[in-house]
Amino acid sequence: MSRGFFRSTAIVGITTLLSRITGLLRDMAQLAFFPAATLEVFVLANQIPNLLRRLFAEGAFSQAFVPVIAEYRAKRSQAEVRGLVDAVAGTLGVFLAAASLLGVLAAPLIVLLFAPGFRAKEGGQFDLAIDLLRWTFPYLVFVSLTALAGGVLNSYQKFGLPAFSSVVLNVVMVIFAAVLSPYFERPIMALAVGVFVGGVLQVLLLVPPLLSMGLLRWPKWHLQHEGVRRVLRLMGPAIVGSSMGQLSIMVSTGIASLLADGSMTWLYAADRLVEFPLGVFSIALATVILPSLSGHHARSAPEEFSATLSWAIRLVCLIVIPASVALFTLSGPLTVAIYHRREFTALDVEMTRGALMAFSFALLGWSLIKVLAPGYYARQDTRGPVKVAMRALGLTMILNLIVMVTLWLTGRLEMQGMHALLALTNGIGALGNAAWLYRGLVRGGILQRDAEGAALIGRIFVASVAMAGVLWWFSGDLAAWLHATTSHRVGWLTALVVGGGATYFACLWLMGARASQFRLRPPAIA
C-alpha cells in the first residue's frame, strides 16, 4: 500500500515538477518583458477566472466529484460510470458556458468590484483590465472540463497526464509572452489571448484518453441524473468552503489595487515562488490521497483512513517545514536569481522579497489544508470545511481591516512595501484554517493522535532551524547577488540549496529520524 502511494505521488510530483518548472519559465518571461505596473493589470484579469477555477475545478467540483465517481467504481457497473461522466460533463458544461458569457458581458462591473483602485489611476488600467478579462474569462470553461477529465482519470489511478496538462498552458504562455507579444498593438493582450488558446489545448489533451477507455461518449444535459444531483448537493457547501480562501486572496488583491503601483505584481511574483513547492509536493499528495481516502470510506475502513491521513501529515511536515524556512531565509537570493532581468528592477526585487518572506508563513498552512480537507471530502462531508473556512476568512478580514485603517490613519496607504502586510494576513489565516481542520478531525474520531508523529515534527523543527542558520551565514548580502552574473547566481543558489538540504537531513538523522518512520504501514488487525 505504501509503495503504491509513493509511486503515485512520485508520478504526480515529477509531472507537477515539470509543470512548475515551465510555470516558473512563464512567470520569468512575463516579469521580464512587462513592467510591474503594466503586468498587474493582467494579474487581475487572470486571477478572477482563476478564482472561479479553484472553486469549480480544483476546489468544489473535484472535492465533490471524485468521492462520487469512486463510489460508482466500487459499487456500480462500467456503463453506469460512463453515464455519470456523460451527464456531469454535459450539465457542468452548460452551467460554465452561461457563467463565462455572463463574465464577459459584466467585465466592467467585475473589474470595478475586484480592483476599485484601477478606476482612479491615470494609466488606463481600468479599460485595459476589461479588455483582458473578456479574453481570460472563458478559460473557466476549458479548465473546469479539464478538471472533470482529470478527476475521472485520477479515479482510475492515472495521474500523469492530468498533471501534465498544465505544462501545455505554460508553454503556450511563454510563447505568447516572449515571441508573439511584439506583434500585438498592446503587447500585454498577448498574455490574455495565450490563456484562451492554452485552455483549449488542455481540454484537447485529456479527451482522447477518456474516449479510449470507453468512459466518455457524448456529454449531455441530465440535471435529474442521480449522480449529478449528488455532486451538485456536495458542491454547494464546498463552493462556500473553497470560496473563503479564494475570496480572502481576491479581497487582498482589491486592497492592493489601492496601494502603490506594482503592488499586485509583487504579490503575484512572491506567491508564484510559494506555489512551486506547494504544487510539486502538497497538491500532488492531496491528488493521490483523495481517491484512496474515498475508497477507505466506501469500504468502511476507518483505521486505514486515519493511517493514510497521519502518513500524509508526516510527509507534509518533512518537506514543507524546511521549505518554508528556506523561502524566508533565502527570499532575497531566490528573487534575484529567478526574476532579476530586463524589466524586473532592483526595486521589484526588494518589494517581492518582502512579500515572499511574509508568504513563507502561509506555505505550511496551505499545504496542511491540502491534505486535511480531503479527510472531510472523502467522507462526502463538505459542510465541516465550510465552517472552518468562514472562521479563517473572518480572521483574515479582521487583520486586513486593521492593516488598512492603520495605513490610512498614518498616511502610508501608497507607500511602497505595504503589500507585504497583506501577504502576512493571508498566512495567519491559512495557519488558523489548518489548525481548525486538524482539531475537527481529531475531535470527530476520524484522525487518531499520532504521538510518534508529533515527536518527529519536533525534530523537523529543530533540523529546520539548524538549516536556517547555515543558509543565513553563507547567503551573504543582497547587493552582492544583484551585481553577480547569472551563472554565479545559479551556482551560488545551487550550493546553498544542496548545503542546506544536507544540513537538514543530517540533523534529522543525528536526532534518530529514519526513513521507515515516514512510510505508510497498514494498521494492526486485532
**pLDDT tens-digit map of 44-70:** 888 888 777 766 655 566 667 777 877
Cell numbers for 187, please give them. 503587447
Q: Which amino acid is at 341?
A: R
Dump pLDDT digits (tens) for 213-232: 777 777 778 777 888 888 87
The lowest-confidence range among 92-101, 128-137, 449-458, 517-526 is: 517-526
Quick one: average pLDDT of 474-479?
Answer: 89
pLDDT band, residue 435 (cuts 50/70/90): very high
User: Cα 29 from chain centroid?
Assistant: 20
Location of C-alpha cell 521507515 = 516
pLDDT band, residue 130 (cuts 50/70/90): very high
The pLDDT assigned to 301 comes to 72
The pLDDT assigned to 524 comes to 42
Asked if the model's pLDDT at residue 476 lies above 50, the reply is yes
pLDDT band, residue 3 (cuts 50/70/90): low
The DSSP call for residue 241 is H
Q: Which amino acid is at 233?
A: R
Q: Which amino acid is at 85?
A: V
Q: How far is residue 493's CA from residue 26's CA, in Å, rounded to a whole number?
A: 20
Quick one: average pLDDT of 448-469?
Answer: 88
Dump pLDDT digits (tens) for 144-174: 888 778 777 877 767 677 778 888 999 999 9
Q: Which amino acid is at 390?
A: M
The pLDDT assigned to 147 comes to 79
Burial class (CB in 10 A: 0-12, 13-18, 19+), 354: buried
Dump pLDDT digits (tens) for 288-324: 676 677 777 677 777 888 888 888 888 888 888 999 9
Q: For the chain, give the percent of residues with pLDDT over 90.
A: 28
Length of the chain: 526
* Long-range contacts, 34-38 (Cβ 8 Å, 24+): 34/177, 34/187, 34/188, 34/191, 34/343, 35/262, 35/343, 36/261, 36/262, 36/265, 36/266, 36/343, 36/344, 36/348, 37/123, 37/261, 37/262, 37/265, 38/123, 38/188
pLDDT band, residue 400 (cuts 50/70/90): confident
pLDDT band, residue 244 (cuts 50/70/90): low
Model pTM above 0.85: no
Q: How far is residue 130's CA from residue 108's CA, in Å, rounded to a whole number?
A: 6
pLDDT band, residue 388 (cuts 50/70/90): confident
The lowest-confidence range among 63-67, 92-96, 325-329, 510-514 is: 63-67
The pLDDT assigned to 523 comes to 47
Average pLDDT in the chain = 83
| Cβ atoms within 10 Å, residue 35 | 17
Residues 6+ apart with CB under 8 A from 371: 282, 285, 286, 289, 309, 312, 313, 316
